[in-house]
Structure 1
Amino acid sequence: MQHNIKMVVFDMAGTTINENNLVYKTLRKAINEAGFNFSLDQVLTEGAGKEKRQAIKSILTVYANINDEEQIGQIYQNFIAQLTEAYTKAEIVPQNNALELFTALKKRNAYVVLNTGYDRLTAQAIIQKLGWKETIDFDGLVTASDVSKNRTDPDMIYFAMNKFGILNSSEVVKVGDSIIDIQEGQNAGCGLSIGITTGAHTVDQLLSANPDFVINDLIDLLPLIA
């Protein structure tokens, strides 16, 4: 049991937002349009949770032994253009029990923060499409473009702690659907680093990162921090 939790940091796509892996399907399409033929599983395994330029770099390095910054940059620009268009057309809905959990955490005086490997413009566009309002539905947003080092580095969590005046990372919980999310929480020294099975990585993949817990639904978090 964890007491005195002051903030819960949630990943966005796959964790609090259900977009049916749209981002990784789009990422795969942009990479493959540059002359590759990677599967969605390959893209998820190496790319999930990472800042998206870094995701492209990891996928190309691991599967094609390519580390061409110019090519990575071109693929990234293509990806962002396609993702912006895809998100305007796609149905994006909250994950099951997301807002119910946010409300319950507010009643416990715990800040609800969203964090993401997206840049801020993309993240805000997604949140706007959901109709969520900062300070009403959730307390804060921190994105890959707000910090100099991205996951697995803990900078995004430290950024959020600084914003809300939290000094002790053991009073913070991190929840995410990828190995990278769990490692980010561990590297920040979070009181709990929790995987969730609603997104990019399977139970076995999540367990490989040694999370404190793996949950199947957001609402399952509440008894863990009672």
Structure 2
Amino acid sequence: MNDSSAMATHDDHGIRLVVLDMAGTTVADGGLVERAFSTAAERLGVEPGTDDHARKLAYVRATMGESKISVFRHLFGDEDLAQRANTAFEEAYGELVDGGLIAEIPGARATIEALRESGRTVVLTTGFARTTQDALLDALGWRDLGLLTLCPADAGGRGRPYPDLVLEAFLRAGAADALRQVAVAGDTSYDMLSGVRAGAGVVAGVLTGAHGDAELRAAGATDVLGSVVELPALLAAGDRR
């Protein structure tokens, strides 16, 4: 599902660094975000089935990809409540991860390996806290991939849609000479905004997660792919040009 007209606009700068989102892009979590949110909200007195719960859940759905603490700051206003909600969310998500519902997006591991074999550096990023990101990596058995992994706390606390995670990956990985040699891939408009604001040369949306084609393109996607497995071919085509 590559967009050939968008691909044609890419300059041949040679992508050297690939920044990949996790949940929805490389990881299928079976809707655990919503389930963990409901658990966390209930612990703070937001009862399932109420209008308040429905409004808050709708906002969580609309902001998939954003740093979770930022979401809770918006929902609860008070910093103490936001921190409590975030802690409860992370605990609930961690418990659900241990329930065996986590899986890779089909072909994601092989895609990461193919990207690395082509000489590119791969960094995995998330809007979750470090403990949750580590739980995902353990559940997938991806620790042996030896990848650099980043969460908002690693980038000064600001996650998507800010460019910080992409910029942090660029600085830490040391794989690219310029930001135009960076590719960002994710399943939400927030991933796209983060990549665009960082100045990444390729900002690819994937249709395996939260947002659809129109939302991804509206947020600045240079390409929209059916799945992350199409990314190596997209980048290889750019190399040939």
TM-score, with length taken from structure 1: 0.88
**Residue number among 25, 29, 40 corresponding to 1:30 in the alignment:** 40
Show structure 1 runs of 5+ residues with no match: 61-65
Please name the residue that 2:213 is paired with.
203
Deviation at 1:32, TM superposition (A): 5.0
Please name the residue that 1:129 is paired with.
139
Pair 1:188 & 2:228 matched: no
Pair 1:163 & 2:172 matched: yes
Pair 1:45 & 2:55 matched: no
**Residue number among 80, 83, 96 corresponding to 2:90 in the alignment:** 80
Q: Which moved more, 1:27-36 or 1:4-13?
A: 27-36
Please name the residue that 1:145 is paired with.
153
Please name the residue that 1:95 is paired with.
105
Show structure 2 runs of 5+ residues with no match: 1-9, 47-51, 237-241
**Aligned residues between the structures:** 217
Tell me the amino acid that sits aligned with residue 155 of structure 1: D
Please show how residues 60-71 of structure 1 align to structure 2 within 5 Å. 60=75, 67-71=77-81
Deviation at 1:68, TM superposition (A): 2.0
Q: Deviations over 1:104-124 (max 9, x none)?
A: 211210011100111112111
| Separation in structure 1 between the aligned mates of residue 92 and residue 147 of structure 2, nearest angstrom | 29
Retained in 2: the 8 A contact 1:112–1:138? no
Tell me the amino acid that sits aligned with residue 231 of structure 2: L
After superposition, the Cα gap between the structure-2 partners of 1:24 and 1:168, relative to the gap in structure 1 and judged at 3 Å, is: farther
| Separation in structure 2 between the aligned mates of residue 13 and residue 175 of structure 1, nearest angstrom | 12
Q: Which moved more, 1:9-18 or 1:87-96?
A: 87-96
Root-mean-square deviation (CA), in Å? 1.9
Pair 1:20 & 2:30 matched: yes
Q: Deviations over 1:79-128 (max 9, x none)?
A: 12211211111321110111121122112100111001111121111101
